[in-house]
Amino acid sequence: MIEPDHSYAVEARGISKYFGGVAALDGVDFKVHWGEVHALLGENGAGKTTLSNILAGIYRADSGEIAVDGLTHEVRTPAQAIEAGIGMVHQHFKLVETMTVAENVHLGWPDTPTLVSQRVLVDRTNHLMEEIGLHVDPTAKVWQLSVGEQQRVEILRVLARGAQILILDEPTAVLTSHEARDLFKVMRDLVSGGRTVIFISHKLNEVLEVSDQITVLRDGVHEVTRSAEGATPRELARLMTGEERTLEVEHREITGETVLQLEGVTASNDRGVVALSSVDLVARSGEILGIAGVSGNGQTELAEVISAMRRVDGGTITVDGEDVANGLVRKVTDLGVGHIPEDRIGVGIVGSASVKDNAVLRHYWTEGLSSGVTLFRQAVVDFATRLVEVARVQTRSITATAGQMSGGNQQRLVARREALLATRVLIAVHPTRGLDVLAAQEVQTAVIGQRDRGAAVLFISDDLDEVLLMSDRIAVMYEGRIMGIFDRVDADREAIGLMMGGHTLEEAMAK
Amino acid sequence: MSTYRLERRLEVDTKKQALTRVAGALIAMAVAGLVLLLTGRNSFKILFDGLEAIFGSQRGLEGVALRAIPILMTALAVALSLRMKIWNIGSGGQFLMGAFAALGVGIHVNGPGWLVLILMALAALVAGSLWILVPALARAYWDVNEIITTLLLNFVAAQLVTWASIGFWRDTEAAVIQSTKRVPYRLAELPGTDSLTIALLVPFVIALVLFWIFRSTTIGFEIDTIGGNARAAAFAGINVRRRILLVMLCTGAIAGLGGMLQLSAPGARQLGPGYEAQFGLTGFIVAALAGGAMMGVLVGGTFIASMFFAGLVLQTKGLSVYIIFGIYGLILTGVALGEMAARYRLVRVGDAVSSERVAS
Ligand SMILES: Nc1ncnc2c1ncn2[C@@H]1O[C@H](COP(=O)(O)OP(=O)(O)O)[C@@H](O)[C@H]1O
Ligand SMILES: [Mg+2]
């Protein structure tokens, strides 16, 4: 028996966990001090979720022991974990959508009075929110809330049950960058109130921004625990992937001809509200034109009007001089326009169809794959086999359904498929969102490769660092307008940030 | 002290699934047999009588085939729509309207038999698709759910046929009050049979054509894509509206043609109440259990037809109709559970071996 050492909130020693004989965790040590945000960093499959599930009593470790606040605990069930003060917010929320916030907070909570009126529930919830400093309308139904607000309800639920140690499993994967900022503030408030937050992520920038300590896991092995101060993305990426792996993007002078041209393009979003107002843009062969902006400022609609998925209310869009506005999707595809859509599962993939059918989804009707009436099945198989190989998609077979692949593999498939179609224009919308470092770099490499083959690339992302890394020129979008366009060399991070928030070019330069 | 838990399979083996369905039916029959034994009936004799009814004579096999034709036609119609995740609950109505139109041609047009029969078939195809036209337009253009619209039109079709059979097309020569005139033309007989016509070939030809369409053509690819994810289909440049219209009109046409074929069945050359003997509903069950697979529809439809036929014979041998319906229900439930069983597997919790997981 070791002397209780109260300086650690959690001290896990030699944790191993096997799934069918394969080690998901292999003798991992994990020590977290009270009052810190401790990031657990690692690529997909590194074992982050498994480790947190063990801390939260959902899985049992095959070996190793866990001390909470210096006392060894048997954490065998979620209830025992809560008793020890550990609460976890999962990657997928567990809220009842048709119930109110107050009801959800109280659901399955032993402290809830047995007979209780809606008013009492709301009062109790208000009280809690005051105490914790998290605010959501307690009378709203969960389905009415944004993802960020739903997440707050989840956090509230866990904290209400007395959790002092909060585990957040990839909380930012579902958030816009704005919502993520809000969450970071909440996390900082919680630790300054004395609680401890374990923050799981595979995004280096976020981890560096919000955490005090960083633990890196790789393939179920503890790599390092170090202070966030002085850590560099490059070093962390190397620890995560085990290789020196930072993308070097070469930028050359652009001499190519104009391929894509938008003039005075106006369009509405699905709710009929103006989403693009009088957008002028030119993209030339062999360049990446980055579109910086906070999500929801017209980027989605911009991508959709170009690929003829959305009608324009005015203006012209040409690809190699051919008018494509309000045209047919197939004509645009035929002109050599590829589109990595924002919603890859909702739009880019048919989950119930095979990997091979998804490989040809966007051009099965073209010569070589079909006669117009029949599909050439062997040609489809050949194409899909090749695509899976170059895109390094991990799937058991090309006849397995696309839906059973991980998100990273689905995006590898979509990104390469569209890059191959994009002989002239490639539109990439948040193409690396939610991907681990390796998959993200593969997608970025595919995009750069297409640029080097002479395509004009429109690279849309709300991650400014990524836009700055990838682009030859950068346009800033705000409320459906282009606020300004920079050459890469003149791009000033500050100024772009201000313009993303709605400042004009003049204002941004003056500051 | 490990516990067990059901886990959804990531990929379902369709061959295995066919086997689990058969197993489900067999287990259900065993359960039924056990219950009958416990209540003092000789279930072995019942089983033997049932099999004898079907396989014991040519008449038995022909009886099954006659029942299979209308069921297969509606089942194929529904299966086609299910591929696009469209629920045509109205195949019974389209079946009736096909028969109605064919009958109209049959009793009003004089000419060489083959010509009139072709005209009857065309009329049935058109009438069946017209009967689903409004639901199809509503679904394609305003996204109105087709379940309600197609269902309601069944009742309208039934009323129309009742009206015809007691009103404008009533058979005034016969003593029956509710029956239309008889069609004087009948499809060519199948050589070597007593009661079968070439109608029997039609569902098999249609099933083969549909099978080929979904296996090898771009249109089949498009229909499956829309069924899987309509937004992705639009992204692939597929004209989703046009495909919805096409599929819905075809499903109506196939069901309508089924109505025309039935006019050639012995004793059914006129329309009256009971003409659509739950064929729409039965076809729907078959298509749903087959999961939209055309070959599965052929097997399932024939199986259900044999089951119904055996039940009919057993009824004449004194087995209560309630027991027979109970057995039907049990067997279909067994098949449905068998279908589900193939989607899951039992895993031991604690050391869950998820070999199916593919890490990213
Ligand atoms: N329930 C499970 N069954 C089998 N393997 C699993 C299970 N959960 C996780 N794994 C495996 O354990 C490893 C670690 O997974 P996980 O903890 O989810 O990683 P992370 O959260 O870091 O992405 C992966 O290889 C994964 O496939
Ligand atoms: Mg995880």
| Phi, psi for residue B253 in degrees, rounded to 5 | -65, -40
Looking at ligand 1, which atom is closest to the CA of residue A46? 22
pLDDT at B176: 66
Determine contact, residues A477/A299, Cβ cutoff 8 Å: yes
Q: Which residues surround ligand 2, an ion (CB under 5 A)?
A: A 49
A337-340 and A425-429 strand pairing: parallel
Band (B10; pLDDT cuts 50, 70, 90): low
Q: Cβ contacts of residue B16 below 8 Å, gap of 6+?
A: B342
- Of A352, A353, A340, A434, nearest to A391 by C-alpha is A340
Cβ–Cβ gap B221/A364 under 8 Å: yes
**Reported confidence tier of residue B85, pLDDT bands at 50, 70, 90:** very high
Any A CB within 8 A of B218 CB: yes
Per-residue exposure over B99-113, b if at least 16 CB sit within 10 Å of its own CB, e if not: bbbbbbbbbeeeeee
Give the mean pLDDT of B249-261: 97
Q: Do B360 and A407 touch (CB under 8 A)?
A: yes
Q: How far is the CA of A217 from the centre of ligand 1 (A)?
A: 13
Residue whose pair of structure tokens reads 């019974």 in the numeric block: B92
Q: What is the tally of structural domains in chain B?
A: 1
- For ligand 1, the distance from its centroid to the CA atom of residue A511, given in whole angstroms, is 48
Does residue B168 sit within a domain? yes
Q: Is B323 inside a domain boundary?
A: no
Percentage of chain B modeled with pLDDT above 70 = 94
Q: What is the mean pLDDT of residues B174-189?
A: 79
- Is pLDDT of B3 > 80? no
Measured between beta carbons, the chain B residues lying within 8 angstroms of A370 are: 218
Q: How close does chain B come to A415, measured CA to CA in Å?
A: 14
Q: Are B354 and B7 within 8 A, CB to CB?
A: yes
Per the domain annotation, does B175 fall within a domain?
yes
Q: In chain A, which residues have pLDDT < 70? A: 1-4, 243-246, 511
Domains of chain A: 8-241 (3.40.50.300), 258-510 (3.40.50.300)
Instruction: Tell me if B20 is assigned to some domain.
Output: no
CB contact under 8 A, B236 and A364: yes
Question: Residue B8 domain-assigned?
Answer: no
d(CA A166, CA B178): 75
Contact A19 B352 (CB under 8 A): yes
Which residues are within 8 A (CB) of A453 and not within 5 positions of it... i.e. 6 or more apart? A423
How many residue contacts between A and B have a Cβ separation below 8 Å? 105
Q: A404 and B224 in contact by Cβ < 8 A? A: no
- How many CB atoms within 10 Å of residue A339? 28
Note the pLDDT of residue B7. Answer: 73
Question: Ligand 1 centroid vs B58 CA: distance in angstroms?
Answer: 60
Give the mean pLDDT of B102-111: 92
- Closest-CA residue to A428 (of A439, A411, A442, A415): A415
Q: What kind and span of H or E run contains B344?
A: strand B344-348
Ligand 1, CB cutoff 6 Å, lining residues: A 19, 24, 42, 44-50; B 352, 354, 357, 359
Residue B257 CB-half CA count within 13 A: 23
In a domain? residue B337: no
Q: What is the pLDDT of residue A420?
A: 94
Distances (CA, A) of A256 to A81, A280, A506, B229: 61, 19, 29, 38
Q: Rounded to two decimals, what is the model's pTM?
A: 0.74
Q: State the nearest Cα–Cα gap between A409 and chain B, in angstroms.
A: 6
| Facing A348 at nearest CB: one of B235, B237, B355 | B235
In the prediction, which pLDDT does B360 show?
A: 36
Residues of chain B in contact with residue A361, where contact means CB-CB under 8 angstroms, are: 225, 232, 235-236
Which residues in chain B are closer than 8 Å to A362, comparing Cβ atoms? 235-237
A359 φ, ψ to 5°? -65, -30
Q: Which of A299, A373, A375, A365 is nearest to A329 (CA)?
A: A365
Residue B12 lies in a domain: no
Which pLDDT does position A1 carry in this prediction? 46
Q: Which residues of chain B are within 8 Å of residue A408 when distances are taken between CB atoms?
A: 360
The residue among B276 and A365 whose pLDDT is bigger is A365
Interface test with A, best of B12, B229, B241, B343 (most A CBs within 10 A): B229
**Interchain contact B3–A (C-beta under 8 A):** no
Using a CB-CB cut-off of 8 Å, the residues of chain B touching A346 are 229, 231-232
Give whole-number Cα distances, B242 to B219, B237, B248, in Å: 11, 12, 10
Which residues in chain A are contacts of B358 at CB distance < 8 A?
394-396, 404-406, 409
Q: Quick check: A317 and A306 in contact, CB under 8 A?
A: yes
Interchain contact B229–A (C-beta under 8 A): yes
In the prediction, which pLDDT does B155 show? Answer: 93
Query: Quick one: pLDDT at residue B354?
Result: 40
In this complex, the residue of B215, B228, B233 whose CB is nearest that of residue A351 is B228
pLDDT at A91 (0 to 100): 78
Out of A361, A370, A396, the one facing B232 most closely (by C-beta) is A361
Q: Tens of pLDDT along A157-180?
A: 999 888 999 999 989 877 777 788
- Containing structural domain, residue B210: 69-295
pLDDT reported for residue B1: 47
C-beta atoms of A347 and B218 within 8 A: no
Helix/strand/coil percent split, chain A, to 5? 35, 25, 40
- CA-nearest residue of chain B to A404? B10
- Do residue A439 and residue B352 have CB atoms under 8 angstroms apart? no
How far apart are alpha carbons B184 and B162 in whole angstroms? Answer: 21
Closest Cβ opposite residue B237 in set A329, A348, A409:
A329
Which residues contact residue A430 at a Cβ distance below 8 angstroms, ignoring those fewer than 6 apart? A295, A342, A460, A461, A462
pLDDT at B353 over 50: no
> What residues are paired with A461 via a beta bridge?
A292
Q: Is residue B85 part of a domain?
A: yes
Return the ligand 1 atom nearest residue A51 CA. 17
In a mutagenesis test of the B interface, which of A219, A350, A436 is the best target, namely the one with the most B β-carbons within 10 Å? A350
Q: Give pLDDT, residue B175.
A: 65
State the average pLDDT for chain B. Answer: 89
Contact A312, A279 (CB under 8 A): no
Q: Answer whether B349 touches A (CB < 8 Å).
A: no
The number of beta carbons lying within 10 Å of the beta carbon of residue B264 is 24
How far apart CA A102 and CA A85 sit, in angstroms, is 22
B10 contacts in A (CB within 8 Å)? Answer: 400-401, 404
A47 alpha carbon – ligand 2 mean position (Å): 7
More confident residue, B355 or B292: B292
**Cross-chain Cβ contact A20/B224 below 8 Å:** no
DSSP three-state, residue A9 = strand
Q: How far away is chain B from the Cα of A89, in angstroms, using its nearest Cα?
A: 22
Rounded to whole angstroms, the maximal C-alpha distance in chain A is 78
As a whole number of angstroms, the distance between CA A234 and CA B292 comes to: 52
Min distance A152 CA to chain B CA atoms (Å)? 28
Give B257: exposed, middle or buried? Use CB within 10 Å, 0-12, 13-18, 19+.
Answer: buried
pLDDT number for residue A242: 73
pLDDT at residue B355, rounded to an integer: 38
